[in-house]
Amino acid sequence: MKAVQVPYANELKIIEIPKPSLQNADDVLVKVKRVGICGSDMHIYHGTNPLATYPRIVGHEVAGEVIEVAEGVNNLKVGDHVVVEPISYCGECYACRKGRPNVCEKLSVFGVHEDGGMREYAVLPEKQLHAVNKELSWDEVVLAEPYTIGAQAVWRGNVEKGDTVLIQGCGPIGICILKMAKIAGATVYMTDLDEKRMDFAKESGADHVIDAGNESVKDRILELTDGEGANTVIDAVCLPSTVELSIELVSVAGNVVILGFDERPSALPQLPITKKEITITGSRLQTDQFGKVVELLNNGKLKSDGLITHRFSLNDVQEAFTFVEKNPDKVRKALIVFE
C-alpha cells in the first residue's frame, strides 16, 4: 500500500509499505478516506516541530471506514465510519492519574512520535477510534480532530455562556476555537493581519474582528468590553508579543490560554498577573473532547461552512504540501483524498 513519509526535514515521498494486519484483541483495521494537512505536519516537513522524530509517516487528522475488527472489539463493526483520536498514553503517570493523558510522560502522538494516517490503511486500538454518522461527508468528519483542539482551548479557558473571549489569530485553529466558543455561548472577538482570514472569521460567527496591523488591539478590546478586558484570551498566534498582549488584555480573574510551541521567551510582568489574579494555562491536543465534538457533528451543530478550501489526491501530495507552504493566504484547510 502507499504511504506519505517525511524521511527527514524538507523531504517528502510516497513509499510502498505492507498493508497492516490485526495483532491485538482490540485492534481495528481502517481504510483511510481523508487526511487533513495540519500546521504541525508542515512543521514536521520543515524540521521545525521539536517533538517529531524521523522518518515519519505524517497525518493525525484522519477519517476512514472500518474494514476488519479483532475478537476483543466491542463497540465498532465493519462498515462503521470513524475518526481517529491520535494520542496513546500510559494511564499510570501523574498526568494520567490527574485525568490529563494528553500530556502523559509517555505520550505518543499518531503522526508525530509514531507513524500516522497518511496511508491507505491503518490499524489502531478501538479506544482511539470514534464512530460518526455515516450520512455525514468525509470532508465534514475529518475536521473532528482540529475541532477538539478548539474544544480543549475553550475548556482550558473556562469559557462559559455570557463570557467575552479574545482569540488572537484567524487561522484554521482560531476558527475551530471560535466555533466551540460560540457553541459555549460566548461573545468572541478575533485578531489577525490577513484581510481574507478576517473576513472568513466574520462569516464564521466572530462578533468583532480587529485588524492588528492597522488598529490598536488594546484600544479596541477595552472599548468593546467597556474597559474590562476579555474574560478569556486564547493565543493561537503564540509569538512572544502576543503572549505579552494576552496578559495585558485579559480581565480581572480572567484566563489566558496559550497554544503554541515558540521557544523564544516572553517578557511577562508579575504585577498584572498577581493584581488581576490571572490564570495562565497551556493547551495541548485534547482531553476527552472527542465525544463532545462527534455529538456536535452528528447533530449538525458543528459544520465546516467553507473551512475546507483545497483537496488533493494521494499522488499529488507533494503538490499539496508545496501549495499549502506557498499560499497561506489562500488555504484554510487542505485535505488529502484517498479513494
What is the tens place of the pLDDT at every residue in 18-28? Answer: 999 999 999 99
pLDDT score, position 61: 98
Both 19 and 127 in a single domain? yes
57 touches 118 (CB < 8 A): yes
pLDDT score, position 273: 97
Per-residue model confidence as pLDDT tens digits over 274-320: 999 999 999 999 999 999 999 999 999 999 999 999 999 999 999 99
Containing domain of residue 182, as a range?
Answer: 150-282
pLDDT score, position 326: 95
Count of structural domains within the chain: 2
Integer Cα distance of 198 and 99 in angstroms: 36
Q: Which of 237, 241, 112, 117 is nearest to 177 (CA)?
A: 237
Integer Cα distance of 48 and 128 in angstroms: 27
Both 210 and 261 in a single domain? yes
Q: What's the average model confidence in pLDDT over 64-83?
A: 98
Both 235 and 206 in a single domain? yes
Both 272 and 160 in a single domain? yes
Both 123 and 212 in a single domain? no
Return the CATH number at 38.
Answer: 3.90.180.10
Examine residue 315 and state whether it is found in any structural domain, yes or no. yes
Q: State the chain's mean pLDDT as an integer.
A: 97
pLDDT score, position 50: 83
Assigned C-alpha cell, 199:
473576513
Proportion of the chain above pLDDT 90, given as a percent: 96
pLDDT score, position 77: 98
pLDDT score, position 35: 98
Both 106 and 136 in a single domain? yes
Both 75 and 198 in a single domain? no
Per-residue model confidence as pLDDT tens digits over 98-150: 999 999 999 999 999 999 999 999 999 999 999 999 999 999 999 999 999 99
Q: What's the average model confidence in pLDDT over 195-220?
A: 97
pLDDT score, position 195: 95
Both 93 and 211 in a single domain? no
For the entire predicted model, the pTM comes to 0.96
CB proximity list for 45: less than 8 A, separation 6 or greater: 6, 9, 10, 12, 58, 321, 325
